[in-house]
Amino acid sequence: MLKIDEKTQTELEAAAFRRLVEHLRERTDVQNIDLMNLAGFCRNCLSNWLKDAADERHLGLGKEELREHVYGMPYDEWRGRFQREANPDQLRQFAEKSGGHKHG
């Protein structure tokens, strides 16, 4: 395990998270369904995880504002600008891996 203090560990983890979010904002060519099929998470998952953490601390942050934080713009704007229709193979892979669970 890391041999650093808890504050430093948290700061490093936060920096890595910010870098991941920045990377995903830049890679608008990478679709959420591709992320889900390959890694089992996507931009929406990140925003949901932030929401869970905020709810644990009773911060009153909303789902849409946290999505906007992850996407770097309102979610509907990102979808309109960058989201492409999933092809049949992507949908098949998603259904197989998720057991038909709707993600969103």
Q: How far is it, in rounded angstroms, from Cα 18 to Cα 12?
A: 10
Contacts (Cβ under 8 Å, ≥6 apart) of 59: none
Whether the pLDDT of residue 102 is over 70: the answer is no
Residue located via tokens 């993600």 = 103
Average per-residue pLDDT for the chain: 94
At residue 27, the pLDDT reads: 98
CA atoms 32, 34, 37, 41: torsion sign: negative
At residue 99, the pLDDT reads: 65
pTM: 0.87
CATH class entry, domain 31-104: mainly alpha
What is each CA distance from 50 to 25, 30, 80, 97, 101, in whole angstroms? 16, 21, 23, 23, 21
